[in-house]
Amino acid sequence: MMYGELGASRTKRTVTGMARLLKALRLDGMLLSGLAGVSLFGLFVLYSAAGDNTALWFSQLARVGIGFTLMIVLAHVPDHFLRMLSPAAWAVGIVLLAIVAVAGDIGKGAQRWLDLGVIRFQPSEILKLAVPMMCAWYLHQRPLPPSLRDIAVVLLIVAVPVGLIAEQPDLGTALLVAAAGIIVLVLAGLSWRYVLGGAVVFGAAVPVIWHFMHDYQRQRVMTLLDPESDALGSGYHIIQSQIAIGSGGVFGKGWMNGSQAQLEFLPERSTDFIFAVIGEELGLLGLTALLAAYLFIVGRGIYMSLQCRDAFSRLLAGSIALTFFVYAFVNAGMVMGLLPVVGVPLPLVSYGGTSFVTLMAGFGILMSLHSSRKLVG
């Protein structure tokens, strides 16, 4: 039939045209659709969580725009260039962290910000990418699986920035940076004996870490164990967020209809606790849909990393994909009362900070690493 044929060929042309466009932009269609899906979902939820504050929503919209632009730009940086830049990026990050430690701005009791006159930013964000880059750069030159000496070097690469960030104090970011580096090491083939040994050492070190924690950090761990003990203080967040999620049920109370969120019983509902808003308003369906989307993004990222052409690209791509999931796990775990309250945003959904932009930068790099392979292919 004429119309049918025309329609089919039009569709076909559109699809191939899209594919050609994506290829020209060096983007991965599957990953891009996953990211765009979660971002749109995030904006949808944030519109409700932000309440009357539309300025907040528009500023997040701007961040989404910046994030996707940065992703496209980074997707065009050749992989060898990224590799070459890794040590410099790491070193610059360390220097900036040191400057913050000495001269940074103090916001909410922690010293995290660097004020450059025009913009204020947290150097720790740079390290979220620079640390796995540096680890992958180093291991790329070494025969794998890594020797004991290589492991020590990588741990040093990770420990220096993590120490500086934890000192600010910014436990959440320190944790993410550490995870990004350690993941590279494990993917490179770190012997299971060391993984086990590390776990034992960590277990033994818990009392020591406890000793060095800030009071408020200890408080948060204690609160996790017994939120009711401090219903008004640190426990307040956890109790309220669990009430929000639990009262949402399977189908949720409906968009813009969460009483916990809309009546401001739920603190930080547009930032760290937005997961609870989803749970309350969109129910178990909303939460599982989001978790599935996260899984899809991670799976696609790992699949892409398998096709990369060398160790640097593989390790970095794998770390970017898995660290993304660590974000999601830590945030969701915290909001549902499985983990202590640490300041980690829900990836691609939470309002604020530079988190969205940093994540998209990471996926831009992942796409670059992946498409570089094809050119040689």
Partner 1 sequence: MRRVRIKDEALEQRIYFQRSLLAVGIVTAIALLLAGRAAWLQVAQHQHYLELSQGNRARIEPLPPNRGVIYDRAGRVIAENTPAYQLEILREQAGDLEETLSRLVRFGLLEASDVGRVRQLVLARRSFEAVPFLLQLDDEEVARFAVHRHELPGVLLETRMARHYPYGSVGAHALGYVGTISEDDMQRVDRERYFGTGVIGKTGVERAYEDELLGVGGHREVLVNAEGRPVKLAEGTDPQLRTREPLAGKDLRMTIDIELQRIAEEAFAGRRGGVVAIDPASGDVLVFASLPSFDPNGFARGISRSDYLALTENPDQPLFNRVLRGTYPPGSTIKPLMALAGLEYEVIRPEDQVYCPGTYSLPGSRHRYREPRRGGTHGPVDMHRAVMKSCDVYFYRLANTLGIQRIHDSMARMGFGQPTGIDIAGERGGIMPSPAWKKTAFATREQQVWFPGETVIVGIGQGYWTATLLQLANATALLSTRGRHFRPRLVRALVDPETKQVEEKPAVALPPLELNQPANWEIIVDAMVAVTTGGTAARAARGAAYSIAGKTGTAQVFSVGQTEKYDEKEVSERLRDHALFVAFAPADSPKLAVAVLVENGGFGASAAAPIARAIFDAYLSPASPP
Footprint on this chain of partner 1 (rule: CB under 8 A)? 108-109, 142-145, 147, 183, 186-189, 216, 231-234, 236, 242-250, 259-260, 263-265, 267, 279, 283-284, 287-288, 291-292, 294-295, 298-299, 302, 305-306, 311, 314-315, 318, 322, 325, 329, 332-333, 336, 338
CA distance 209 to 171: 12
Quick one: 172 or 279, whose CB is closer to partner 1?
279
Two structure tokens written together for 346? 């829900």
Phi then psi for residue 69, to 5 deg, are -60, -50
Q: Is the Cβ of residue 71 or residue 334 nearer to partner 1 in the bound state?
A: 334
CB of 228 to partner 1, least distance (A): 9
Q: In whole angstroms, give the CA distance from residue 184 to residue 305.
A: 12
In terms of Cβ atoms closer than 10 Å to its own Cβ (0-12, 13-18, 19+), residue 142 is: middle
Return all residues near 185 (Cβ < 8 A) that are at least 6 apart: 135, 139, 146, 151, 154, 155
Which residue's CB is nearer to partner 1, number 94 or number 330?
330
Surface-to-core class of residue 208, CB atoms within 10 Å of its CB (0-12 exposed, 13-18 middle, 19+ buried):
exposed
The least CB distance from residue 208 to partner 1, in Å, is: 25
Q: How far is the CB of 333 from partner 1 (least distance, A)?
A: 7
Q: Is the Cβ of residue 5 or residue 228 nearer to partner 1 in the bound state?
A: 228
Single-letter code of the amino acid located at 260: Q
CB of 286 to partner 1, least distance (A): 9
CB of 93 to partner 1, least distance (A): 25
Q: 138 vs 30, 162, 369, CA distance in Å?
A: 30, 18, 17
Distance in Å, CB of 158 to partner 1, minimum = 18
State yes or no: cis peptide before 169, omega within 30 of 0.
yes
Judged by beta carbon, residue 126 or residue 266, the one nearer partner 1 is 266
What's the helix, strand, coil split of the chain in %, to 5? 75, 5, 25
In sequence order, the 6+-apart residues with CB closer than 8 A to the CB of 302 are 318, 321, 322
Residue 17 or 267: the one with the smaller Cβ distance to partner 1 is: 267
Quote the least distance from Cβ 175 to partner 1, whole Å.
Answer: 15
Nearest approach, Cβ of 311 to partner 1 (angstroms)?
A: 6
Of the two residues 241 and 371, which places its CB atom closer to partner 1 in the complex? 241
- 311-335 and 79-103 helices, crossing angle to 10°: 50
Q: Specify the residue, 187 or 357, whose C-beta has the smaller distance to partner 1.
A: 187
